Every structure is written in C-alpha cells, then in structure tokens.
Chain A
Amino acid sequence: MKNSILIVIFFVVGLGFGLFSLLPDVFSGSRMTLYILYLLLFLVGIGVGANKHTLNLLRSVNLKIFLIPLSVIVGTFLGTLVYSFLDDSLSLRQCWAVGSGFGYYSLSSVLITEIAGESLGVIALLSNIIREILTLLLTPLLYRFFGRYAPISAGGATSMDTTLPVITRTVGAEYAAISVFSGLVLTLLVPFLVPLILS
C-alpha cells in the first residue's frame, strides 16, 4: 500500500514537470520510459532466474495457463459491453475496439486512429494508459481481494513488461512466467483483434 501511494506521487509530480515543461528536452518522456523499462526488465529477469520455483510452476500449470489471457479477453469484452449501454455516444464495436488494446496503448491507439479516426484514437490512448496505471496502483488490493491472477489479468498486455515488476513484487517472482506468457499472448492478439472488431 505504501508503494502504491508513492507511485501516485511520482506520477503526479512527473505530470506537473511535463505540463509546465520543467525538464530539458533530453528527458522528454517516452525515450526515458523506454530506457527505464529496459533496466526494469533486466532486474525482473534477475528476479525470475534467481527464483527456484519458476520452472516448477510453469510445468504444473500446463494448458491451464491459457485461461489467464482468456479471462482478460472475456472479462474486458463483458465490462466494455456494460459501458456501451451506459454511454450512447460510443457503439459496442467502438468500446470493444478500445478495450481490446489490453493496455498496449502505443499500438492500439495508432491502429484505432488509422481505422476509426482521431477522437476514438485518443480515447484508446487514454483508456489503455489508464489500464496500465490502474494496474500499477491497485495490484496489492487486487491480489488481496481477487486472488493471485487478478493483477496479471488487470495488466492485460502490459503484464509482460511495464506492470511485470509490480506484479512479481506483489504475487511473487514465481508467477513472472505466467505473467509474461499472458501479456505476450495478448500483445500478439492486439494487432489482429482491433482491426477485426472495427472492420
């Protein structure tokens, strides 16, 4: 919980720095996040390699491992279906397209902007960034109330990279393999699902 609060503080302070352009251009957001992401993945790799249970877990879970990305797809479609009833300005198809970015905001927002125009593209960008932020913030709570696969499921495609460190810190490094697997399946699906839904 303490970590979640610290994360919010860091995000808000960063938001302020970006809004008022307080940093020299060298630090402009996206490239820095990429470098830090590389560092994080390296650190997570160490954590995974150092954990003796990773391989055992992957073996014991076997085919069931596909249930995690499946739960993300089914759950996202159900949740955004409910939203499409609440908001008349977005069709079910548009809601599903935004939802099936699964947090992969760079790719899904570009795809949606290309196919369905800028305003839906911005919604997709915001929505998928929010999904990532929600996962980063709520992982400890999700774990406590909805089990060890809930943070992985909430993370969607991001559970293989940006949210992986938080997830492994919370549910244990031995779940990193499942988390990466689920994120990978979803990441691979995004470029197919989004155009399919909008076609």
Chain B
Amino acid sequence: MGYLLRNKRRFLVLSARLTDGAIFLLLFFLGVSVGMNEEVVSNFQNIGLQAFLLTVLGTLGSVVVSWLFYLLFFRKR
C-alpha cells in the first residue's frame, strides 16, 4: 500500500503522525498491563533492581558491539 501511495506526500506525513500517536498509545497500554500484573507489581522492589541492572549491561553490551561493527564494517562504503 505504501508503495502505491509513495507519491502522495500529505498521506505520508499523516501516516508518520499516526505512527507517533500509536507509539504513545502502545506505551500507555504497556503501562496498564504492567500495573495490572500483580506478580510483577509485588516483586518490583526485590527483583526490579536486579532485572534493571542486568538489562542495562546486556543492552549496553549490544550497543557497544554494534557500534564497533558499524565502525569496522559499515562506515566506508
């Protein structure tokens, strides 16, 4: 559909705006489902910090390695 409409600028701007709106809604409802999950809420303090630190390090590792790969293999083309 996007391919067929590729020359309609106004339509594309509209779809970009809609994408932003849908992202906000998605996060809102992700918050709702986290808030309603009692297992997660009651364990939040104990386990939350563990999960948070583990994730920050794991994600940071991914980002740094992807950065290295980017500098090594992708930058000059």
Task: Tell me the smallest distance from the CB of B12 to a CB of chain A, in Å.
Answer: 6
A119-B47, A169-B19 known; A154-B59 Cβ under 8 A? yes
Q: A77-B61, A79-B61 are in contact. List 5 more A-B contacts (CB 8 A).
A: A14-B34, A33-B33, A39-B22, A75-B66, A127-B58
A25-59 to B contact mask, C-beta < 8 Å, 1/0: 00111101100110110011111111110000000
Summarize A's interface: helix, strand, loop or mixed. Answer: helix
Which residue of A48, A64, A99, A165 is within 8 Å of B74 (Cβ)?
A64
Which residue of A29, A72, A76, A165 is within 8 Å of B33 (Cβ)?
A29
Q: Which 7 A-B pairs have CB atoms at the shortest separation, nearest pair first?
A: A29-B33, A18-B35, A14-B31, A49-B2, A79-B61, A153-B66, A75-B62
Cα A82 to Cα B55 in complex, Å, equals 11
List of B residues within 8 angstroms of A51 by Cβ: 2, 6
How many A residues, CB 8 Å from partner? 89
A122-B43, A126-B47 known; A79-B59 Cβ under 8 A? yes
A50-B2, A123-B54, A149-B70 known; A166-B23 Cβ under 8 A? yes
How many B residues, CB 8 Å from partner? 60
Contact between A146 and B63 (Cβ–Cβ < 8 Å)?
A: yes
Asked whether any CB of chain B lies closer than 8 Å to the CB of A129, the reply is: yes
Cα A61 to Cα B2 in complex, Å, equals 23
Asked whether any CB of chain B lies closer than 8 Å to the CB of A194, the reply is: no
Cα A19 to Cα B37 in complex, Å, equals 8
Cα A60 to Cα B34 in complex, Å, equals 41
List of B residues within 8 angstroms of A15 by Cβ: 31-32, 34-35
Asked whether any CB of chain B lies closer than 8 Å to the CB of A7, the reply is: yes
List of B residues within 8 angstroms of A72 by Cβ: 62, 65-66
Task: Tell me the smallest distance from the CB of A20 to a CB of chain B, in Å.
Answer: 8
Which among B6, B12, B18, B57 has the greatest number of chain A C-beta atoms within 10 A?
Answer: B57
Asked whether any CB of chain B lies closer than 8 Å to the CB of A86, the reply is: yes
Which among B2, B18, B63 has the greatest number of chain A C-beta atoms within 10 A?
Answer: B63
Contact between A131 and B2 (Cβ–Cβ < 8 Å)?
A: no
Contact between A50 and B50 (Cβ–Cβ < 8 Å)?
A: no
List of B residues within 8 angstroms of A37 by Cβ: 26
Which residue of B2, B15, B31, B54 is within 8 Å of A83 (Cβ)?
B54
Which residue of B4, B51, B63 is within 8 Å of A130 (Cβ)?
B51
